[in-house]
Amino acid sequence: MLFQNIDIPAQGTTECSVIVYYENRAGVFINGPSLSFDGGFSNQQARIDIMDPNSPISDIGAGVLQNLFQTNPGDPFSLGYTTIDFDLTDCAGTTVRFRVAEVDNQDNFQFSIDDVTCAVAAAQVPTLSEWGLIAMASIL
């Protein structure tokens, strides 16, 4: 697992992206009941989540605020470089955890991420003429 806590500004729009790639040699995806590779059950999966930073790093339940990516049974066993875009504006003014997890206990599974970016666009401030229109509307 890899993770990074991200402070989301209170103002503006926060748009993010990540590039994912994988090769699964097992020929199967299995979403086990946890992110453990040695829990006595089959588990061959990858996922990217936005999490509550106060939850355990391996949580796959209530601590996951948004699942951005997850392999599932029936998915192709190879995925070329693919960009995933996501919006964190709804989390404005808070800290969230970006978590990447991969578990494999069936055979080799290479899962990679690259170029994780978040850009904040400032909130639109009305121009002087728009302020004048707002002021005039409040007088009427």
List the chain pLDDT tens, one digit each, 140 residues: 999 999 999 988 999 999 999 999 999 999 999 999 998 899 999 999 999 999 999 999 999 999 999 999 999 999 999 999 999 999 999 999 999 999 999 999 999 999 999 998 876 555 555 555 555 555 65
Within 10 Å of residue 102's Cβ, how many Cβ atoms? 20
* 3-class secondary-structure state, position 134: helix
Within 10 Å of residue 81's Cβ, how many Cβ atoms? 10
Residue with tokens 């970006």: 98
3 and 56 Cβ atoms separated by less than 8 Å:
no
Query: For the domain bounded by 2-139, which CATH number is listed?
Result: 2.60.120
Q: pTM here?
A: 0.84
Residue with tokens 């990858």: 46
Residue 69: alpha-carbon gap to chain centroid: 7
